Chains A and B, each alone.
Chain A
Amino acid sequence: MTSTTSLTDEYTAAAARAGLTIPEDRLDGIVRLYGELRSMTSLLRSMNLTAEDEPANIYSFDPILRSE
């Protein structure tokens, strides 16, 4: 499990790369939100995604319905 400190370090490094300045009084809250997103990305990586689950970059109904 990622510790709060390492999550904060991971986020602040990403934010710096994105050119963001983080107000000190908001850092903890933003890192909490970022932590929620990290949990979600982990959850999606637990899915059994196969070659059929290919997004083709742009989402549209057409390729989905054509495959019926």
Chain B
Amino acid sequence: MNELLHKSLAKPLHELSIAEAGAMIRQGDLTSLALTEDALARIGSLDGPLDSFITVTGDRARSDAEQADADFAAGIDRGPMQGIPYALKDIYMTKGILSTCHSKLLVDNVPDVDSVVGTKLAEAGGVLVGKTATHEFAYGGPSFDLPFPPARNPWNRDCMPGGSSSGSGAAVAAGLVRMAMGSDTGGSIRGPASYCGVAGHKPTYGLVSRRGVFPLSFTLDHAGPLAWTVGDCAATMQVIQGHDPQDPASAAVPEIDFLSGLGDGVEGMSFAVPREFFDGKPGMDPEMLEAFDKAVAKLADLGAKVEVVTLPDFELFNATGRIILTAEAFGIHEKNLQERPLDYGRYAMMRMYAGAGLTAMDLVQALRARRKLSKAVNKAVLGRHDAIITALAFTTAPRFDEMSREDPPTYTLQSMPFNVTGNPALAMPTGLSSDGLPLSLQIVGRPFEDAKVLQIGEALERSTGLTAIRPPLAA
């Protein structure tokens, strides 16, 4: 493995944040090509047992890196992602590069266009090192009956990394890349972030274009980053946000400054904790709750006001989201489900098939419930508070050998409510359990106040010092 050390930071290259690596490149202490070669070497030596990548784009990465270095040399600075290696979940279409959605149905799919997010990262000077594993079509998994194996958790390879952005979470946690893009329809960024101990930001619905990302559920899908630090999420968001008139859900709102407020802390802010949502619910790991309480106490120590609030019952949000997701996914996949159902893996096929029994009336009731629940979150709670601090995963990463082989696995996550409402939501680590697996919480903000969500997360991250802890595999 390439063990390049920086002369002043004495830090292995893979532990540099996006801001640190960018500063070194700009100072002439590092090149993007050296950073990229280090990433490719780590992928080559560490990803075998992790299976976080489906495709490694070494030639493209070296070309991107050389261009980034040439631009720096010419005085061209395209912003925080210039020269930084990153990965895309394999549901992001990439021009001339295999884009399979981890499915037999698209196993030979080489698109002739890039996703908008991929285009923005390329135009910002980012370095694409590869495409990451996912649950099939971001829905069914983890599965062992697909053309590629499921990704594994770097903290313990017997454990799942979560999904559906499974490879993105694993690759970031293992230090193969600082940032990998994911998608989140019911928790598919935040779940892997929680189980892999990284930061994962589901942006406000409409803030990041989804064009060129294979859809799972039109009105619930969000594109967003998983990264080792909250600051790295902010650097990515600075580049990938923006109105896309060709994405029907894209919001025509002013661009957000994600970087200048980072580091401003939480003093004077007001946070709502919907304790009844998760406390005392079956399956909640006491260690997860203890770490949550410590994190909330830390935010109070940092000068925030914390108030316990009541939200509508979690099961109402979950039911609303599941019905909309299942109906929309069935609508998207209907033709293939009719004509080639056995080309899907068992789990994705079963989940989608179940949607055949939903009626139009079921969907209308879910849409009505969605409006009511969105008002409850945005008016009654976020009308009075800067953010909601709440639990995310009830447990640490589940083990593969605990999976049912018959029925699709389910994760005990409280992520779906904020897909239903569309609010920005950040998952981040709160510590490690007694058996060495990551614990987490989520921070939820008002629509388009994504920068404030990341500001809160950064304050908590900085106060805990957790980013210094890496999985043993990647140490």
Question: Which residues in A have some Cβ–Cβ distance to B below 8 Å?
Answer: 10-11, 14-15, 17-23, 26, 28-30, 32-34, 36-41, 43-45, 47, 49, 52-55, 57-61, 64-65, 67-68
Contacts and interface: CB of A to CB of B under 8 A. Distances in A.
B204 to A, nearest CB: 8
Interface string B330-366: 1000100110011000100111011111100010111
A15 B357 CA distance: 7
Lowest 10 CB-CB distances: which A-B pairs, in order? A40-B319, A55-B367, A33-B354, A18-B356, A14-B357, A53-B368, A19-B338, A53-B372, A34-B354, A41-B362
B402 interface: no
A39 to B, nearest CB: 8
A44 B323 contact: yes
A61 B422 contact: yes
Contacts of B371: 52-55, 59, 64
Interface string B421-451: 0100000000000000000000000010000
Interface string B206-241: 100000000000010000000000000000000000
A57 to B, nearest CB: 8
A26 B131 CA distance: 31
Contacts of A15: 353, 356-357
Interface stretch (B269-277, B282-290, B373-381, B389-397): B373-381
A38 B322 CA distance: 11
Nearest to B248: A58
Contacts of A26: 346, 349-350, 353
Given A23-B342, A26-B350, A41 B356 contact: no
B341 A21 contact: yes
B242 to A, nearest CB: 16
B466 interface: no
A30 B379 CA distance: 38
A56 B366 CA distance: 12
Given A41-B323, A53-B369, 17 more contacts: A11-B357, A26-B349, A29-B407, A29-B408, A30-B353, A41-B358, A41-B365, A44-B320, A44-B369, A45-B365, A54-B368, A57-B367, A59-B219, A59-B422, A61-B251, A64-B371, A67-B375
Q: Is the interface of A mostly helix, strand, loop or mixed?
A: helix
Contacts of A19: 338
Interface residues of B, number: 50
A49 B206 contact: no
Q: Is the interface of B mostly helix, strand, loop or mixed?
A: helix
Contacts of A55: 364, 367-368, 370-371
B431 to A, nearest CB: 33
Interface of B: 204-206, 219, 249, 251, 315-316, 318-320, 322-323, 326, 330, 334, 337-338, 341-342, 346, 349-351, 353-358, 362, 364-372, 374-375, 378-379, 383, 406-408, 422, 447
A3 B406 CA distance: 21
A23 B226 CA distance: 37
A47 B319 CA distance: 12
B368 A64 contact: no
Contacts of A20: 337-338, 341, 353, 356
Contacts of B366: 41, 44
Nearest to A26: B350
A65 to B, nearest CB: 7
A61 B316 contact: no
A47 B334 CA distance: 30
Contacts of A32: 407
B322 to A, nearest CB: 6
A26 B368 CA distance: 32
A33 B351 contact: yes
Contacts of A28: 406
A8 to B, nearest CB: 11
B377 to A, nearest CB: 10
